[in-house]
Chain A
Amino acid sequence: NAGVTQTPKFRILKIGQSMTLQCTQDMNHNYMYWYRQDPGMGLKLIYYSVGAGITDKGEVPNGYNVSRSTTEDFPLRLELAAPSQTSVYFCASSYTARGLGVRAFFGQGTRLTVV
């Protein structure tokens, strides 16, 4: 049981490049999330999904896109990378109880630097 798996672990991008951060979970959780963590700060929600085919914006969605074609996968797309997107990105999933997302499980993070 691998839990939540993110790839890559590290990446350096040049300004204007694009990339996709991959996230897969094997716990059959309906809810999945992308957060970013800037140095010395807590995490902020970028996008979330409550099931295959359903996604919605979080607190800081600008410059990102997501898709959810399967329960397991929730990739995050960065278009036209900017230095402000330098951060550590975390994918998470949670199971649901009576429609409420409960305990969240996080991947190991992707450290992205835009130069």
Chain B
Amino acid sequence: GIQVEQSPPDLILQEGANSTLRCNFSDSVNNLQWFHQNPWGQLINLFYIPSGTKQNGRLSATTVATERYSLLYISSSQTTDSGVYFCAVAVPRGGTSYGKLTFGQGTILTVHP
């Protein structure tokens, strides 16, 4: 099956710093999503971004599908950004993937005040 690798595995920041999280995947995908799992375990969908660039406030994401990677940018980080960030992808088979996601191992982000 597809391999999804996220880096770095851990990241510690001071409030106000910027960061870039990376997701590499080993096969062509038709679905790529970024999630934030907060300290209470809730998974929040940040972006659906199989290709191109999107921005939402202090967060933005870019996926270069032809080179099989995606980047998540967090600017002016806040303590509430702490948690685990997951990249998840779906591989098309027979023209569709039914949205079945394969997750990476995640990046644990800690933002100190």
A binds B: yes
A10 CA / B31 CA spacing, docked (Å) = 31
**Cα–Cα, bound, A102→B72 (Å):** 18
Contact of A42 among B1, B42, B90, B106 (CB under 8 A): B106
7 shortest interchain CB distances as A-B pairs = A101-B99, A42-B103, A103-B48, A106-B43, A94-B99, A43-B103, A99-B96
Contact of A103 among B33, B100, B106 (CB under 8 A): B33
How far is the CB of B43 from the nearest CB of chain A, in Å? 4
Q: Which of the four size classes fits the interface of chain A?
A: 20 to 34
Task: Decide if B101 is an interface residue (CB 8 Å cutoff).
Answer: yes
Q: Judging by beta carbons under 8 Å apart, are A100 and B31 in contact?
A: yes
Q: Contacts A104-B33, A105-B45 given; indicate if A45 touches B100 (C-beta within 8 A).
A: yes
Total residue contacts A-B, CB cutoff 8 A: 70
**B side interface size, CB within 8 A:** 26
Quick one: which of A68-108 are within 8 Å of B by CB?
88, 90, 94, 96, 99-106, 108
Chain B residues positioned under 8 Å from A103 (CB to CB): 33, 45, 48
26 A-B residue pairs with Cβ-Cβ distance under 8 Å, sorted by A, are: A33-B99, A35-B101, A41-B105, A42-B4, A42-B86, A42-B88, A42-B103, A43-B86, A43-B88, A45-B100, A50-B98, A59-B1, A59-B102, A88-B41, A94-B99, A96-B99, A100-B31, A100-B99, A101-B98, A103-B33, A105-B45, A106-B35, A108-B41, A108-B42, A109-B41, A111-B41
Chain B 54-89 interface mask (CB, 8 Å, partner A; 1/0): 000000000000000000000000000000001010
**Complex: how many Å from CA A3 to CA B92?**
26
A58 at the interface (CB under 8 A from B): yes
Q: Does B51 make an interface contact (CB < 8 A)?
A: no
A88–chain B nearest beta-carbon distance, Å? 7
Residues of A within 8 A of B (CB): 31, 33, 35, 41-45, 48, 50, 58-59, 88, 90, 94, 96, 99-106, 108-109, 111
Question: Residue among B4, B43, B90, B103 with the most chain A CB within 10 A?
Answer: B43
| B97 proximal to A (CB < 8 A) | yes
